């Protein structure tokens, strides 16, 4: 899943820059954080929309099937009710496979972490002059940035492994 981010990030800047000053490192990290945030925001919206649509559809079909099955005098309605139940069953089988709700929540958490790192980085930049901003002040935030991506990938892989095992 995070490989999309690497594609997006590398599409924006393929060049490696060596010997950056602390302020340039801070600016580059801030750019990466913002790219990560855009990635998480867009996917969070997509996953939330899909999850909500599927949940709403499942709820509507379940309610309709229950009502229709209550009208058992008409075989057409009974057949339609059973069709809705089949669709609900299929929807309930599809959602865990795609895990839209899980991915939506995962992106929400990643976005929170990216905002935290971005806020802290902006504060450190504003609280220092370019001469007093040290690489160490940027390095710990970069470590946090990497950890967000590692956690995001790790949680997604753990979820997929769990789903694949059928447990």
pLDDT (tens digit, 9 = 90+) per residue, 83-96?
Answer: 777 778 777 777 77
* Domain range enclosing 50: 3-10+20-165
- Asked whether residue 15 is assigned to any structural domain, the reply reads no
pLDDT (tens digit, 9 = 90+) per residue, 7-27?
Answer: 454 445 557 777 888 888 889
Q: How many domains does the chain have?
A: 1
Could you write out the DSSP letters of every residue in 77-131? HHHHHHHHHHHHHHHHHHHHHH-HHHHHHHHHHHHHHHHHHHHHHHHHHHHS-TT
pTM of the model: 0.62
Q: Report the residue count for the chain.
A: 167
């Amino acid at each position: 899943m995070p490989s999309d981010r690497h594609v997006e990030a590398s599409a924006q800047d393929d060049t490696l820059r060596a010997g950056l000053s602390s302020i340039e490192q801070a600016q580059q990290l801030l750019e990466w954080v913002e790219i990560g945030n855009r990635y998480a925001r867009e996917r969070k919206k997509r996953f939330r929309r899909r999850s909500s649509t599927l949940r709403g559809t499942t709820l509507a079909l379940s309610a309709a099937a229950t009502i229709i099955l209550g009208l058992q005098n008409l075989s057409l309605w009974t057949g339609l009710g059973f069709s809705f139940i089949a669709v609900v069953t299929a929807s309930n089988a599809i959602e865990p496979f795609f895990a839209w709700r899980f991915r939506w929540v995962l992106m929400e958490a990643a976005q929170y972490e990216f905002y935290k790192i971005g806020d802290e980085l902006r504060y450190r930049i504003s609280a220092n002059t370019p001469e007093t901003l040290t690489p160490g002040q940027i390095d710990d935030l970069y470590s946090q940035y990497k950890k967000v991506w590692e956690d995001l990938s790790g949680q997604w892989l753990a979820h997929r492994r769990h789903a694949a095992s059928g447990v």
